[in-house]
């Protein structure tokens, strides 16, 4: 059976004041698309160009369920999750290009 890769991810703007949660099967491509305003909608409107958090899944249903769960969370809980993964809220865009 072939391994599948799915990711839930959080993007933010330069001031880290807006969070966007999404799901994708190609995190590198999606970060590039958001970072270059190639996807119309929320991330383009609010300049969410910077990756601050992601999780990896092998099952799309698990990824979709996690995305729905996180979208229901209050901002404070999302911030705590990000801090646990990325304490300095570094923009991970360049790291993701190298890692994946």
Range of the domain at 90: 6-99
Residue 65 belongs to domain with CATH number: 3.40.1440
Examine the pLDDT at 2 and tell me if it is beyond 80. no
Coil, helix or strand at residue 26: coil
Q: Is residue 1 part of a domain?
A: no
Residue 97: what pLDDT?
79
Cα 75 from Cα 85, distance rounded (Å):
16
- Please give the span between the terminal C-alpha atoms of the chain, in angstroms, as a whole number: 21
The number of domains in the chain is: 1
Q: What is the pTM of this model?
A: 0.92
């Amino acid at each position: 059976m072939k391994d599948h890769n799915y990711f839930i991810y959080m993007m933010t703007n330069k001031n880290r004041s807006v969070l966007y949660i999404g799901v994708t099967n190609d995190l590198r491509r999606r970060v590039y698309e958001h970072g270059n305003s190639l996807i119309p909608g929320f991330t383009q409107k609010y300049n969410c160009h910077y990756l601050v958090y992601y999780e990896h899944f092998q099952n799309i249903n698990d990824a979709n369920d996690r995305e729905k769960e996180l979208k229901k969370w209050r901002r404070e809980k999302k911030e705590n999750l990000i801090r646990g993964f990325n304490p300095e809220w570094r923009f991970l865009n360049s790291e993701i290009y190298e890692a994946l």
